[in-house]
Amino acid sequence: MSELKKCPFCNEEAESLICTCRTKQNSEGMTIIASSIECLNCGASGPQAYAIDEVSAREDAAYTWNDRGGSSNE
Ligand SMILES: [Zn+2]
């Protein structure tokens, strides 16, 4: 998994961040994985990412977390 940035809300180091995965079914009855990064320190969670396999879902969740926590000067 990609390295996670610090929590943008409480500035907690990445060791306190966990990646949660839930199995869901989409409207076509296909099993998908919903994954998001959560901060154990302040309870914040990143946007959910959806993918058909857990590895991709975790990667996407990490990506969106880092994207939000990063600089906004792009
Ligand atoms: Zn936090």
Rounded to two decimals, the pTM is 0.81
Residue 3: the pLDDT is: 85
CA 66 to ligand 1 centroid distance, Å: 13
Q: Please list, in sequence order, all residues whose beta carbon lies within 8 angstroms of the beta carbon of residue 73, skipping any fewer than 6 positions away.
A: none
CA 27 to ligand 1 centroid distance, Å: 33
CA 38 to ligand 1 centroid distance, Å: 8
CA 20 to ligand 1 centroid distance, Å: 15
pLDDT, mean over the chain: 89
Tokens of 57: 């879902």
pLDDT tens, residue by residue, 40-63: 999 999 999 999 999 999 999 999
In angstroms, the CA 73 to CA 37 distance is 23
3-state secondary structure of 60: helix
Q: Which neighbouring-strand residues pair with 45?
A: 38
Tokens of 15: 């060791």
Residue 73: the pLDDT is: 43
pLDDT tens, residue by residue, 3-53: 899 999 999 999 999 999 999 998 999 999 999 999 999 999 999 999 999
